[in-house]
Chain A
Amino acid sequence: MSDAALPAPAAQAPAPRRPMRFRETRRMAATYSRSISAMLGLALVVLFLATAAFGPLVAPFPEDATGAVNFEAKLLPPSAEHLFGTDQVGNDIFSRVLFGARTTLQIGLTVTGIAILIGVPLGLIAGMTGGWVAETIMRVTDIFLSIPGLILAIAIVGALGPGILNAMVALSLVWWPGYVRLVQAKTLSLRNEVYVDAARALGAGPLRILFVHVLPNCLSPIVVKASMDMGMAILGAASLGFLGLGAQPPFPEWGAMIAQGRSYLPDWWWCAFFPGLAIYLTVLGFNLMGDGLRDVLDPRQR
């Protein structure tokens, strides 16, 4: 018997493996990029962000976004000079749409941001503690969630008075309960995971469990929801603007622009059409991106 210490290795050399570092991230990126819709969403979102950032610098008629009037040029159809045409006071709609992107982004980010800042901690508390604290939080959340969001927002704006700031406050108040419910449910299910029990058995206190085990696992549903919410918040803001409760004219907010343009259908259709198209494409982008993120981060979650 020969004395080979180890069993004979396989004769065939193993195929080259991808390096292990960041493999998970790269796999996620690869999965994301394989989806046409997710990439389209990403493209739209990037386009939106770029417009918000650089639009005002590129706009051909920046003064039109802040109330300049030019009756000579009123209600001109789309052309090379005025890509989206002009409105009833002669403003270039393309420029106004570009400026409006910035407002829209501000509103979306603020509303989603505040909603997360209020909702996530409350959800964590409700999930981690029990008893009447959690009960109260959840009951209040349930009541808020039982009121159709837009109506509640209108009621709040109706009470506070029209204006962009009040619209943002109203929308934030409508949005935070959604995060409470999401985080609370996730926290509750995570608390019962075996690894949390294991951590506790090893002496981990509740704060450590919260930050090391619970919070990181909540992040992916929060990220997915935030992405979808950006789209919905933008719709909400545009809706309030359409009703005249958000940004006031001559502010170039997309919803308000549609309301203005409404009177000029059908002959001067471009006044109402292009701002709406902008809203649609932006919301579509966030929705597609949210879908893509969800498929990548948590394929079993719907």
Chain B
Amino acid sequence: MITNIRKEKNSSFFRLNILLLCLLVICSFCTLIVGDTPFELIWQDVLLRIQGQSPSTWNPLLDERIPRLIVILSTGASLAVAGAVMQSLFHNPLASPNVLGITCGGSLIVVIVFIMEWHLEYPFAIPLAAFIGCLSTLVFVYSFSRTEGSVNINALIITGIAVSSLLLSFQGAIMYAFRDNWILIQTLTEWEAGSTVDRDWKHVHMQLPLTLIGLYGCWHYRSEIDIIALGGEEATNLGVEVDKVRWRLFLCVALLTGGALASVGTIAFFGLVLPHLVRYIQGPTNHWLIPLCILIGSVSFAFMDLILRTLEIRALSTGTISAILGGLFFLILMRRSQYSYSEGVK
């Protein structure tokens, strides 16, 4: 009986994976195809470049669409995985880079980099600042809410929200002080809106090393995440070095969030909603949650970008559309869970 259930689950999981892979291929293909230049022309130039005969040093496919696709896939995967890991680590469905203030921490330091114009001379200053901001905020929130060796989950969320508000107010104060420098304000607004316009290899280089390490780390510790989710004491009894694993996962989350923040900007709700969706489909175990989050995150982000690009909706950025859809989805999810809870009480 148990074997049958497991087989059925494996088979449905396999089908889901295939479906997601197909969607990923379709979205990626469309991202590479859709653009102002006819694809035949681009392809001819690619062939010429391979032969070393291309008159041009820039090709829309090689130099814009492919790097943009890499940035999109990396960002979607990073945020979804970061959210999933945090929700498991803190045993709380509300834990996500946004809710715990990690994004705000990274964002504040990046704003300072923009103001000092360090990014013009050193482009890696943005991902470095984002990583440092994310990590320091995460460590602060975690340490602040930890009492007598254990973390009170409610305290963690409240601390996260408080730190988030504090950092946002610092950022608001800085922006207010520079309100007359409207070019800076415009630059920051564009960055904060979470845009994928004109993403090139520079953004790939800014993000990809952080994303690769972050994703590998989360994948590597997927079993430990499952065990830690049972509780710190149980995990220690089962031989997991809880503090070490937790610290490394913090680093991974900071790398993932920082990388995404640096190359695309602020993308709200992604890290909160997608892990819920994946758990709803697949169940709570992290063994497959992380690869599924990578797939679903990449597909959803690529799909949103494709829709905005194809319909030429210029008033919205990927960040804003993600926040709108994510917020609505989360409200629906909350409503449904309240409904089933009240039915259960009856």
Question: Are A and B genuine complex partners?
Answer: no
